[in-house]
Amino acid sequence: MTPSPYPVIRLKPKAQARAIRHGAPWVYDNELVTDRRTKKIVPGSIALLEDAERNPLALVAVNPNSRIMCRVLERDCGKVIDGDWLRDRLAHALALRERLYEAPFYRLVHAEADGLPGVVIDRFGDTAVIQPNAAWAELLLDPMAEALVQVTGVNTVLKNAAGRARGLEGLDADNTVLVGQAPGAPLAVPMNGAIYMADLMGGQKTGLFFDQRPNHAFAARLSKGARVLDVFSHVGGFSLAALAGGADSALAVDGSAAALDLAIQGARQAGVEARFATRKGDAFEVLGQLAEEGAQFDVVICDPPAFAPSKKALEAGLRAYERVARMAAPLVAEGGYLGLCSCSHAADLARFRGASVRGIGRAGRDAQMIHTGFAGPDHPLHPQLAESGYLKALFFRL
């Protein structure tokens, strides 16, 4: 066998090499032999991972400064991680999205599940936004952007450095333009019959959340002729979809004036501005105010940020999800619908459902659970990485 051009890093004798052979994508620092040589490997370098008997397992990206010290890139140890390899991975990801969606608005790369660990790429027509949340992707950012242009034909590539994981990898927080020119205005994104305005340079994450697309569509089916309340609305995710589905009215609540302004622009573009209203404020405070006002809605959706982004935050996060359900349930008219969402990977479906059901019960409401939703298929799950299946959406009839 031809010697590998990459440095070698080795598992400890008791580490589970079988898990890597079966597709596990991460290797933690306590599973590896870490001597002075391995600790000096430049973060983001590619290495050959071997088991304790020196049998090759995979090509991995190494970051000695991270708890996840190795991320599996390629199980064929004879491959070279270069521009051709990146083009192959991107073409494989693109083929799935082109089969799923008629218009080029989707998550193109969903990290480990698309074989590019730590990398998120969202596509907005001729513009793509890369979040390189791992050191190896930062080192290969220029060839990755070049491959992205070659494979997809986009003419603008932006780097978004807002990912929380970048800090854990020791990476900067600088947004930059990699190819082309930064958009001078928010981009209009059609989805589920609605139009969303995405601020790719100054908005949250990459500018828009594609993951909720199927849950927006389900909520829209419930919303025909309905009064809709969309709490933690961002740029109007559920409310604009509901209006496109025939809702009589929709109220979007968010703490960000900039996000609500984008929601108003989206409503205007879609011609539904007359049925759309916004309310800026802390979501819990607004829920309390609406209850005091005696407000009632036929459909209430709450899509908060990650209350439990880590295991340490789990218990506090579950209490927050229970509080959302308890405060939202009284606002739902008899026979109406309540949608509750979580994007916290630390709060699995069973725990999130338990917190939501407790909150509804504490509000004195009886409920039928009618649907459980997840992220769309452009956010595929890695079957051996629970974190890739972070999004949950529960719909109840009260």
Q: Are 56 and 109 contained in the same domain?
A: no
Which of 223, 212, 191 minimizes the C-alpha distance to 338?
A: 223
pLDDT the model gives residue 1: 54
Exposure pattern of 82-118 as b/e (b: 16+ CB <10 Å)? Answer: eeebbbebbeebbebbeeebeebbbbbbbbbbbbbbb
Rounded distance, CA 108 to CA 190, Å? 16
Give the domain-ending residue among 135, 153, 179. 179
Q: Are 65 and 93 contained in the same domain?
A: no
Encode 166-213 in three state secondary structure.
HHHCCCCCCCEEEECCCCCCCEEEEECCEEEEECCCCCCCCCCCCCCH
Q: Are 300 and 154 contained in the same domain?
A: no
Rounded distance, CA 256 to CA 389, Å? 27
β-sheet bridge partners, residue 302 = 231, 340
Q: Which residue has the tokens 């990398």?
A: 119
**Is 343 in the active site?**
yes
pLDDT the model gives residue 104: 98
Q: Are 196 and 173 contained in the same domain?
A: no
Q: Are 231 and 317 contained in the same domain?
A: yes
Query: pTM for the full model?
Result: 0.94
Q: Quick one: 40 exposed, middle or buried, by C-beta within 10 A (0-12, 13-18, 19+)?
A: exposed
pLDDT the model gives residue 15: 81
Rounded distance, CA 110 to CA 226, Å? 34
Helix (H, G, I), strand (E, B) or coil at 153: coil
Helix 283-292 to helix 314-328 angle (10° resolution) is 30
Give the domain-ending residue among 74, 98, 128. 74
Which residues of the chain are under the pLDDT cut of 50?
none
Q: 50 to each of 20, 28, 77, 322, how far by Cα in Å?
A: 10, 14, 10, 46
Please check whether residue 2 lies inside any domain of the structure: no
Catalytic member of 70, 302, 341, 343: 343
Q: Are 54 and 94 contained in the same domain?
A: no
For residue 371, the tally of other CB atoms under 10 A from its CB is: 16
Please check whether residue 1 lies inside any domain of the structure: no
Residue 227 contacts residue 298 (beta carbons within 8 Å): yes
Range of the domain at 172: 83-179
